[in-house]
Amino acid sequence: YRLVPEVCFPEQYYDALRATKHFLQPDVLAQYSVDPSRIAISGDSAGGNLAAAVCQQLSKDEDLIIRPKLQALIYPVLQAFDFNTPSYQQNMNMPVLPRYVMINYWIDYFNGNYDLAHALLINNHTALNVGQALSFRGRLNWTSLLPSSFKKNYKPVVQTTGMAEIIQQMPALLDVRAVPLLADNETLQLQPKTYMLTCENDVLRDDGVMYAKRLENAGVEVTLDHFDDCFHGCMIFTVWPTDFSAGVQTRNSYIKWLDENL
């Protein structure tokens, strides 16, 4: 898929969707000797976002003959609704992906204004007086979706009065094609068997854990593979001189699940 700043949302989503639908055509699968009953959609970080969004769209496409058997999401980016989940608070200054960098990535993706970064950081865009956000609040209630071991002693950050103009300027903040965690339960029920890898030292940990819980609540079979001693992006660190144990163990666990389930 094409990258920022060449193009912004929703072009990356459409690129990934077009490529996937092309690959799923019977003649294309035959060309590459692919078993149509053993296809997985997978991605890490921003790729995990696109993988989840594409999977949701494919599940609603009634004309599709061949569908993925699995989705495997590796520390995916799934929501821009709440930048004060416990993992965002706990890891706000964690190297590789501190909170302010993740917020700037969202602004880049939506072709927004960096002047809005602080307002996003304190959840002004989803304050109680922002009507567009109200219907989504229950789909991302981490106080009920996260286990106590992840909630720890963190408190929700919910502004009473915020800035509705942020949503007007960046409506994609509430577009499920960009933020798959906000999808409705009817869509989640259609998702394939799911693998979710999360890392403790990662602002995105709770994105993955909440999505896993919502999928599970919707009746989807989910494996949540959580690593207490790993960090965002660690799976790429498997080759010398950055062959870290965090990279090796996450990669091996991911491949093992695919071997056993695909």
Overall number of domains in the chain: 1
Enzyme catalytic residues: 45
Distance (Å, whole) CA 54 – CA 39: 14
Q: What is the pLDDT of residue 206?
A: 98
106 in a domain, yes or no? yes
241: left (phi over 0), alpha (psi -120 to 50) or beta: alpha
Q: What is the pLDDT of residue 96?
A: 93
Whole-prediction pTM value? Answer: 0.97
4 in a domain, yes or no? no
Overall average pLDDT of the 132-149 stretch = 96
2 in a domain, yes or no? no
Overall average pLDDT of the 91-115 stretch = 97
Q: What is the pLDDT of residue 175?
A: 98
1 in a domain, yes or no? no
Alpha helices in the chain (DSSP H): 11-23, 26-31, 46-59, 86-90, 99-109, 117-121, 131-134, 142-145, 148-151, 164-169, 185-188, 205-217, 245-261
Q: What is the pLDDT of residue 95?
A: 92
Q: Which domain holds residue 161?
A: 10-260
138 falls in which pLDDT band (50, 70, 90)? very high
3 in a domain, yes or no? no
Q: Residue 177 belongs to a domain with what CATH number?
A: 3.40.50.1820
183 in a domain, yes or no? yes
Q: What is the pLDDT of residue 243?
A: 92
